[in-house]
Structure 1
Amino acid sequence: MGCGVGSAAFRDQVVGLGYLWDTWTQAEQVVAIYSLVRRLGPVPSKFLLNVLSHTTQPDQQELIPIEQQANDPAFVSQIPEGKDGGASELLHHLPLLRPTNTEAKLQYLSIIPKVLAHAVTSGVGQPAALENARQLLSYSLIHPAISAEERRALTHWLRALEDRLADLRRPPAHLQHTQGYGNNISRSCSLGPGGAKSRWNDTSHLPPPDTGQDDSGWCGGSSSSGGGGPSMEPPQSPNNSATSSRSSGCDTDDVPPHHHLGMRDVGAWLKSLRLHKYSPLLSNLSYQELLALDEVTLESQGVTKGARHKIVLSIEKLKDRYRSLMQIEKVFYKLV
């Protein structure tokens, strides 16, 4: 039984879903909605169709030329490869493919495996290609124009892409030990709750490194819902920022030049939280060590109470994001 549409518990659930929504990529958002809409009956489905038709009507004109391209077999066959093998261009057009356009669909199906193969083989050298390819595969596995048999032919790429992303995010042997500012935190952080290693350590619960996209939202940096990000006031301190930096061992001029793979965007994350002065303290940590941070550890490093709370709250959101991604992955496997 549900909480009731007007209840406080239901409102809290909707707000929580909004926080998660802001951490997802556009493809993840579409897959989540798709999996939920499939559970609706015909009347609420028709209602949502009418709502979408009404609310998106002002934007239809600008989509017309793009939709024409997306359904033109000649145009699709000539999509340039680009640095990511053409994944970004396909992401722009595949969602607009009409379900009945078999000729154009066949062109997409001839190109998509090549793009996925390019992403897997380019790997570490082009992380943006991996992320774009994964989003492209997400659309391919739920697109109504693509049959169940055609989806099954693409399914094996799911694991190949996830394995490649895991390799990308796993620190090499010579970077396993943190240096400088991160040493004290490293010694106090375990692999995770209870010391057990989980898939959080090597998959996509944290933002992909250097995707070329705006990562300000991956831990609440830019939220349309108004919660969890920069809308939170910075911690108040009687000291100015320079004094606070020195007292916590975080001079911004001393940012270590080397980072663990997958941790390059920690500075942008902290800046979105208005906590960039702590970049030197956290930028040398691995994914595992960052995930294991708690307020006690941060307090021992001189991090203020308000900043500790922000950092720990953002890490919890990242954990929730990973759990949601795993649920979406389960939906994929049920569809094919």
Structure 2
Amino acid sequence: MSDSAYRVETTSRLAQWKIENLASCSYRKSDPFKIGNWNWHLSVEKNRTLSIKLYPEISNLTREKPPIASFIIRVLCSVGDRKALVHPGITDKPLKNNDDFVWTIEIPLTGKFIIDLEFLDLKTASPNGGEPCSIWAQGFIQKQSNAGALSSLGRMLSESIHTDVTIYASDGSIGAHRAVLATRSPVFCSMFSHNLKEKELSTINISDMSIEACQAFLNYIYGNIQNDEFLTHRLVLLRAADKYDISDLKEACHESLLEDIDTKNVLERLQNASLYQLPKLKSSCMRYLVKFGMIFDIRDDFNAFLQCADRELIAEIFHEILATWKGF
């Protein structure tokens, strides 16, 4: 049997195992696949019923910080029609060994089938004994800054300490500091280094952002942004990062948008990935739509997308479809 029979394809939160010709009275265990901080296994056992198990690979990390998982799992019996058997779902279940999650399916399955596993959240126990913490809610942003070193910058902005420039958003204004802006963005630096109106009037017009989004943008620049605030505005922040050449913010948005691709946002993210040249996001969206077959679940939205999307992007999508279906 080829190695591909045991391989599980993954994206940030989705795993897919394609199984062919599982004989009666047989057992198969997948190769390890990484989701979050852990390596995982799926296994199937076929007798009079079909049993599916999900469990983390035994390691020091699993023993010290076992995953607390929320996920949806389904079995697709027909790729084209997307007919599926769907488990009711698991919420906040600790998984330590191969008996912690077992799904027994009474309906006999023959021929090819696909197991789709989508993690909604993964948590670990809090080190201080409090509520379990989501590994994804910790966020890329919090890893980029040292709260102590940046606390003074945050106060400068929030308390308007010696501000010397005013930023006008579409529905309000905020005071800021040209030195901070100039050090974080070469575009802002250029504004204040040449005899432009921004230097003369000590104002910057950012009319394509709301005051709320502009506040989030400045909070990032000053190292004072909160995770929820970032998640709410990350698409606008991506546009601002590209416009003002703030590479770390652009990368933060890129990494964050990879984490929660789903059928509701995948087309918008694919469009943004193409517009702002985000290769990992484009690749993940393509794989989600084509390799994982989610394109069948959003046919109407996809048809509407084709009417307005860039021709080059449409060509890439169909190239991916042809390449994937040829190999299936």
Bin the TM-score by the shorter chain: under 0.3
Higher strand share: 2
Larger Rg over CA atoms: 2
| Superposition TM-score, scaled by structure 2 size | 0.27
Taking CA–CA contacts closer than 8 Å with sequence separation of 6 or more, which of the two structures ends up with the larger relative contact order? 1
| Superposition TM-score, scaled by structure 1 size | 0.26
